[in-house]
């Protein structure tokens, strides 16, 4: 009888992600093709391993005021309680109320890419989100507080030496609306914003698996998305 090993299974998940990111980096010369391949690796990881209440896709985010975010490499959004997802000619647009997290996927982490991911996070967090009272058998619950939208950056390698050190910590300093909460450098480690209000660096280990498990834990703490005011979006229908 075959004996299973949980440690080997978790390590194997990371090894597969790191190897695929490495192949993408070495095999494609065109930056756009290389970036798309890396993005697909991270998307497939989340699509395969996140609980089914979540969906991950490259998308724009829109609010009921008609404001759009930048295109986001990886949007994690609700598919259980959100009533609509727009798809047009391969483009995905999700309502701001359905978003749990946004991540950028790049080949290398450096100060420029950190700032890029911070700007992308801000473009989503600044959108307006509705939250309606929730009817139930005994009456009506008040509107659910808007959950915090997670943001981060996932890469294969680091442009710094050491890969995870003070230059990374310095680049992560930002205003709350652009803060990156969690990140993975698959070849080197994981970083995260902790409850004490500072960043921690976790080098080595099996970073891709560690990132996935920490992300799931953070999503669990987020609860569920608010009840969206669909009529707020309906106002954009032509009369």
Active site residues: 73, 104, 106
Separation in Å, CA 174 to CA 52, 68, 117: 32, 22, 11
Query: What is the C-alpha separation between 94 and 181, in angstroms, rounded?
Result: 21
Kindly tell me the sign of the dihedral angle through the C-alpha atoms of 89, 92, 96, 102: negative
Token pair listed for 25: 């980096």
Rg (CA), the chain: 19
Separation in Å, CA 120 to CA 70, 148, 150, 203, 220: 6, 15, 12, 25, 23
Burial class of residue 194, CB neighbours in 10 A (0-12, 13-18, 19+): exposed
Residue corresponding to tokens 């749990």: 100
Kindly tell me the sign of the dihedral angle through the C-alpha atoms of 119, 120, 121, 125: positive
């Amino acid at each position: 009888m075959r004996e299973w090993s949980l440690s080997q299974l978790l390590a194997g998940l990371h090894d597969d992600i790191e190897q695929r990111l490495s192949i993408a980096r070495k095999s494609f010369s065109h930056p756009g093709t290389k970036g798309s391949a890396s993005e697909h690796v991270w998307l497939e990881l989340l699509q395969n391993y996140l609980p089914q209440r979540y969906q991950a896709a490259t998308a724009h985010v829109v609010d009921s005021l008609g404001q759009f975010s930048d295109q986001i490499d990886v949007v994690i959004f609700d598919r259980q309680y959100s009533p609509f997802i727009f798809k047009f000619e391969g483009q995905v647009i999700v309502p701001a109320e359905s978003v749990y997290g946004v991540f950028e996927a790049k080949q290398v982490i450096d100060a420029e890419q950190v700032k890029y991911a911070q700007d992308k996070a801000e473009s989503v967090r600044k959108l307006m989100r509705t939250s309606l009272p929730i009817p139930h058998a005994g009456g009506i619950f008040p509107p659910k507080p808007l959950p915090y939208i997670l943001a981060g950056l996932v890469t294969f390698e680091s442009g710094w030496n050491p890969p995870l050190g003070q230059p990374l910590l310095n680049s992560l300093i930002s205003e709350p609306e652009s803060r990156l909460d969690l990140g993975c450098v698959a070849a080197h480690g994981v970083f995260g914003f902790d409850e004490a209000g500072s960043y921690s660096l976790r080098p080595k280990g099996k970073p891709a698996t560690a990132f996935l498990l920490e992300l799931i834990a953070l999503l669990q703490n987020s609860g569920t998305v608010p009840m969206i005011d669909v009529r707020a979006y309906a106002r954009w229908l032509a009369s």
